[in-house]
Chains A and B, each alone.
Chain A
Amino acid sequence: DSGVTQTPKHLITATGQRVTLRCSPRSGDLSVYWYQQSLDQGLQFLIQYYNGEERAKGNILERFSAQQFPDLHSELNLSSLELGDSALYFCASSAGRTNTEAFFGQGTRLTVV
């Protein structure tokens, strides 16, 4: 158990809908990262938050947004969903600003139908 909790584990939704994925980092970790993993693309970095502030952006679509709350949990919001958004979404956390060892959650499997 990595100590990172993601909910829900599975999500099935229709195209055009909006969903929210939730992540609770390991106790004491200030950084949260979101990744998308699809079969053909591998793990793609989406966005990072450190202690409530956005720190880095990767290949995140404009339809997607995230935030980190004062209790350090994070949410990833995906809107106007398309079939191609179906993927595993992982949250990871680490202790500091700079990524050293990252601890991953078990992921949320999103299926858009």
Chain B
Amino acid sequence: SQKIEQNSEALNIQEGKTATLTCNYTNYSPAYLQWYRQDPGRGPVFLLLIRENEKEKRKERLKVTFDTTLKQSLFHITASQPADSATYLCALPNQAGTALIFGKGTTLSVSS
């Protein structure tokens, strides 16, 4: 079965810097990959979806890359702000394409 690994459980950076989070996956080639944000005690919120034929996608201060050869996605937040502090989850479809499988997440803390 597919496995998703997010590089670290926690990432601490200073306000204004760029945060880079990593998602690695194994065992198959998904048609797309998604990133979600989750605040404590709340449901995940969709941020970005990138398809296998897209190398990069941007939305405001967010940028996602998808390297199907390395089986890796990078999620960047530029000019980070304390309000960006949250847990960020990487998600892939299962092999049947019927459900999203989530990584355990990386908790980002941005200090002012």
Residues of A within 8 A of B (CB): 2, 4, 33, 35, 42-43, 45, 48, 55-56, 58, 88, 90, 92, 97-107, 109
Asked whether any CB of chain A lies closer than 8 Å to the CB of B80, the reply is no
Q: CA separation between A88 and B99, bound complex, in Å? A: 18
Residues of B within 8 A of A105 (CB): 43
Q: What bracket does the count of chain B residues touching chain A fall in? A: 20 to 34
- CB-CB under 8 A for A56 and B99, given A101-B34, A101-B49: yes
A residues near B99, Cβ cutoff 8 Å: 33, 45, 48, 56, 58, 99
B64 within 8 A of A: no
Taking chain B's interface residues, is the majority helix, strand, or loop, or is none over half, making it mixed?
loop
**Residues in chain B within 8 A of chain A (CB atoms):** 32, 34, 41-46, 49, 89, 93-94, 96-105
Interface centre among B99, B100, B101, by most chain A C-beta atoms within 10 angstroms, is B99
A98-B97, A98-B98 provided; 12 other pairs, C-beta below 8 A? Answer: A4-B43, A33-B99, A42-B103, A42-B104, A45-B102, A48-B98, A55-B98, A92-B100, A98-B93, A100-B32, A102-B34, A105-B43
B-chain residues with CB within 8 Å of residue A2 when the two chains form the complex:
43, 45
A45-B101 in contact (CB<8A): yes
CB <8 Å contact, B100 and A33: yes
A48 to B45, CA, bound (A): 19
Instruction: Report whether A43 and B98 are in contact in the complex, using a CB–CB cutoff of 8 Å.
Output: no
* Smallest beta-carbon distance A91→chain B, Å: 8
Chain A residues with Cβ below 8 Å from B32 are 100
Do the beta carbons of A43 and B49 come within 8 Å of each other?
no
In the complex, A106→B43 CA distance in Å?
Answer: 5
Which of B34, B43, B89, B98 neighbours the largest number of chain A CB atoms within 10 Å of its CB?
B43
**Are the CB atoms of A99 and B100 closer together than 8 Å?**
yes
Find out whether the CB atom of B102 lies under 8 angstroms from the CB atom of A43. yes
Write the chain A residue with the least CB distance to B43: A104
Measured in the bound complex, the distance between the Cα atoms of B49 and A4 in whole Å is: 20
